[in-house]
Amino acid sequence: MQMIRPRRLRTSDTLRRMVRETRISPDSLIWPIFIKEGTGIYEEIPSLPGQYHYSPDMICHMVERARAHGVSRVLLFGLPNEKDACGSGAWKEDGIVQQGIRRIREMAPELYIVTDVCMCEYTAHGHCGILCGHDVDNDETLEVLAKTALSHAQAGADMVAPSDMMDGRIGRIREVLDAHGFQNVPIMSYAAKYASSFYGPFRDAAGSAPAFGDRRSYQMDPHNSREAMRECALDVQEGADILMVKPALSYLDLIYQARQQFDLPVAAYSVSGEYAMIKAAAQAGLIDEHGVMCESAVSIFRAGADILITYYACELADAIKKGEIG
């Protein structure tokens, strides 16, 4: 029997790159950005080394970095100074995300702006909606989510991304956006967002930890995968344009399933805990940070993601341009 030699296609870098099954572009990367109310704020986030809080007047630092690395898509999160029971700062015309959108539009019209639509950063209790007692009132929350998405679109957002996991939110947001002339603003749904332990550094960075209880009544149980596909199917029916799986690395099977079952683009969010673990292990001398960063990203795209939301967006864009990944 003739020996089969798969190694023939691994004999040079040029050949390996030619036969790659998974290809990555800087165009597939989205960089999460934290905008904080105030002035003169350009502060590194302790739980996310290399990431910063920016006040609107200091967004120039983010823009310069994005341009330098060829990153052209950002996902905005807002940190208001004041919070209340209903999170009213989320949909204010001069809210912190709205200020950030307008400032980026002035400085860098080429940047594509996606906005997180949720209430947890704006409510005094830290939950992702309006409370009825100690429970989140799903249907009342839909109205404030829709108002928030509309205010982002009116401020100039290119895309909105609801992350709350309320039932029916995609349909209600789509209805309100369309009614106000924003039919062309896409919705990237956090379709399969799990109640994960990987969110800790983000909650520190965004000041969004719940004051009591947890979010397991609305975010998904990590044990369930069929339920995730049901959530995706419902969001497709309601008008989602992109489906997201969050977190990414521990949920590669869900990314794969979403890719197989749905024709929409699939995004994955490599969350704060994933980023912080790589940073901490590298700082301790246990891993090669650059290599692990690249390999982790490849695994997410190999599973089926079309879009990667990552705090390593700038570094990955550089690695792609240098031919180290992609």
Task: Spot the catalytic one: 92, 246, 279, 322.
Answer: 246
Number of Cβ atoms within 10 Å of the Cβ of 12: 9
Task: Spot the catalytic one: 36, 193, 279, 321.
Answer: 193
193 is catalytic: yes
83 is catalytic: no
With beta carbons less than 8 A apart as the criterion, state whether 225 and 257 touch: yes
Q: What does R_g of the chain's alpha carbons equal in angstroms?
A: 20
Q: Give the residue numbers marked as catalytic.
A: 193, 246
